[in-house]
A and B are shown apart, each in its own frame.
Chain A
Amino acid sequence: MAELTYRDAVIRGIAQEMTRDPDVVFLGEDIAKAGGVFKATVGLFEQFGPMRVRDTPISEQAILGAAMGAAMTGLKPIAEIMFSDFIAVCFDYIANEFPKSRYMSNGQVKCPLVVRTGNGGGARFGAQHSQSVENWCMMIPGLKVVAPSNPRDVIGLMAAAVRDPDPVIFFEHKSLYPTKGEVPDGEIVDTLGTAKIVRPGKDATILALALMVPRALAAAEKLKSEHGIDCEVVDVRSLVPIDTQTILGSVARTHRLFTVEENPRLCGWGAELVSIVADEAFYDLDGPPVRITTPHIPLPAADILEDLALPSVDRITDRIQRSLNT
């Protein structure tokens, strides 16, 4: 057991898989000699050499296209898109190429690759370097989508993503890079499509993802100590495939559902989960499901404005307390 930052967990997760399988290769902007703009790839170039850890030009289409061509012909590439906002400049590969090649070719073409990308707000970077865009990928048949909230899950889900035979979009949260967590020694391999109950409780279910998980946990502690409300917090972890059984099971016990989403309101992942719960567990609910999200706005740069936009511990606490007391 060792304490590791989320950032160092990314390095360890990639290194674990590159050590295991010589077909795992890694490409992206500034990832090799510079060690990554978030310092989340430091040492990989030195450890695995210039043929396996390669700097690219600022050419996001070339990065993802090359990853796909390598994956189709036998390698297991990990591609970095520095900020998830930049997915917009290479969205063709995410939307049209990776996820449809297997289907269109009637199973002939395989696309086992991982796109890892820095997602989310909190760094005062403004509207084009701060977004939470999991839902851009979640809606596309053929993709898998994960977003870890802690160092242990970074390693385990990275291993699962690299070993998965399908294209996986791996959202790392930029504001979580410096956070720390306990990580067991040795190889860690997790399973895609599994949510985790990170805090058991009986009064309400809170679904959260990535940076919203620690905030939901902090809100749950406040609700308990200040209002005597005992919340269950579920770290959704994997949006596709999605572990609806854990979520439905939790709602069946608590009878209330809240989602905490960093994305702007419309079409966030929580909307899909609320819809599933409404459809399949309506009579388990004692009250309307509530989505706590960023408003339908681009993210501002100023700290007081960005803090106002993203769901905060206080907003989560207040919203849940008001819902349960009416």
Chain B
Amino acid sequence: MAKIEEHAPALKASLNDDIGEEKRLEMYRLQVEIREAEQRAFDLFLQNLVKGTSHLSLGQEAVAAGFAAAMRPGDLSFCTYRGHAHTLARGVPITKVLGELMQRDIGLMRGKGGSMHLTSVDHGVMGSYAIIGAHLPIACGAAWRAQYKGAKDVSVCFFGDGTTNIGAFHEALNFAAVWKLPVVFVCENNLYMEYTPISDVTAVQHPAADRAASYGLERIIVDGNDADAVYRSAMAAYDKARAGGGPSLIECMTYRYSGHSRADPAKYRPEGELEKWKERDPIKLYRERLKQFGIGEETIFRIETDVKREVDEATEECKAAPPPSLDILTTDVYADGGFAWRN
């Protein structure tokens, strides 16, 4: 509680318009889309139309929007089980995401992956990984391919604060630094590893940034509730990666409004903490930002209405869609399309 101000410095709106109206509108739209789709996923859970588990990014929308908006087509995203936001941010249709959560045939992976494994290779979403830390080395490998091939794409790897305490994090950071790989590691520090405050279980105050020096990297902490700040930080890291300058590690300070997963009512939070963070809600902040740059209420309202309609339409489309056909149970285990292990 006492650390909120320190973790999330007050918004200092820069009137230097280095980002531009088009990009800002895109980022606002993405944040609203993530908010509405995540809220819908939660509501559908309560109706038992989304099953299994689900890890929402409510409150963390600016991180996904800022990093995705700064990407070029061809850049690659590697996400965690809290990956709906990053998947939507790359332009994957809402119907595909909700359809997967609702176990429909029109889902992104036809129900074979589920909420924790959203993948859309066509959109550069190279997978959502449910084993903590696993995808950091994988992102290194994709970046190695870019380096080897002389391609200019960047691999961007998102993970939570809890990931900074697993071995794969440290292996990947060292590996990427030694090989100078075009990879950007993004820690979304929402203050809790699952149910426990990250500060209770970590030797340093900033779980990612305070480790950067160990790998010869710059200590970068960003206001993760300010999409502009996130965007600028992303652009700098991508430019560095594309120029052959190697990896970056960026810690974004943010906060999740819901529990760790749907099973978690988040009772462990101190009273008033959630409310305090909601005063700095990323969407609320960004709405004000748009107004500062002269964007009218009408434009903002139209974005919000359009997105809400799209989420409603996607929901209805998914509700009407059939479940996956049973014949896919045994497909795509091996590259021949099947699961044969013997002759």
Residues A61 and B145 in contact in the complex (CB < 8 Å), given A97-B129, A106-B328, A243-B343: no
List A99-117 residues whose CB lies under 8 Å from chain B. Answer: 101-110, 112
- Chain B residues near A63 (CB, 8 Å)? 137
Q: A66-B138, A92-B131, A97-B138 in contact; A57/B171 too (CB < 8 A)?
A: yes
Q: Which residues of chain A have C-beta atoms less than 8 A from B113's C-beta?
A: 104-106
Return the chain B residue nearest A97 by Cβ: B134
State in angstroms the CA–CA spacing of A185 and B120 once bound together: 45
Range class of the A interface residue count: 35 or more
A281 within 8 A of B: no
Q: Which residues of B contact A165 (CB under 8 A)?
A: 335
Q: Are A75 and B343 in contact (CB under 8 A)?
A: no
Q: Are A244 and B339 in contact (CB under 8 A)?
A: no
**Are A70 and B144 closer than 8 Å at their CB atoms?**
yes
A110 to chain B, nearest CB (A): 7
The reply to whether A59 and B171 contact each other, CB–CB distance below 8 Å, is yes
- Is B112 touching A106 in the complex (CB atoms < 8 A)? yes
Q: Contacting B175 at CB < 8 Å: which of A57, A71, A101, A102?
A: A57
A45 in the interface (beta carbon within 8 A): no
Contact for A70 among B120, B134, B145, B339, CB less than 8 A:
B145
A193 at the interface (CB under 8 A from B): yes
Distance of A112 Cα from B336 Cα, bound (Å): 12
Q: Which of B225-260 contact A (CB under 8 A)?
A: none
- A266 part of interface (Cβ distance < 8 Å): no
Q: Mark B299-343, 1 if CB is under 8 A from A, else 0.
A: 000000000000000000000000000001001111101011111
Nearest CB of chain A from residue B341's CB, rounded to whole Å:
5
Q: How far is the CA of A72 from the CA of B155 in the complex (A)?
A: 12
Bound-complex Cα distance A245 to B340 (A): 14
Given contacts A105-B109, A244-B343, contact A65 B138 (CB under 8 A): yes
Indicate whether A65 sits within 8 Å of B137 (C-beta atoms), given known contacts A97-B129, A103-B333, A108-B119.
yes
Q: Using Cβ atoms and an 8 Å threshold, which residues of chain B touch A75?
A: 144-145, 148
Q: Indicate whether A62 sits within 8 Å of B119 (C-beta atoms), given known contacts A68-B138, A106-B112.
A: no
Q: Are A109 and B342 in contact (CB under 8 A)?
A: no
Residues of A within 8 A of B282 (CB): none
Report if A193-B168 is in contact (Cβ < 8 Å); known contacts: A69-B145, A73-B145.
no
Show the binding face of B for A, using Cβ within 8 Å. 76, 108-110, 112-113, 117, 119-122, 126-127, 129, 131, 133-146, 148-149, 155, 167-168, 171-172, 174-175, 178-179, 328, 331-335, 337, 339-343
- Beyond known contacts A105-B117, A241-B342: 8 more, CB 8 A cutoff: A73-B126, A97-B131, A102-B332, A104-B112, A104-B119, A105-B109, A109-B119, A241-B340
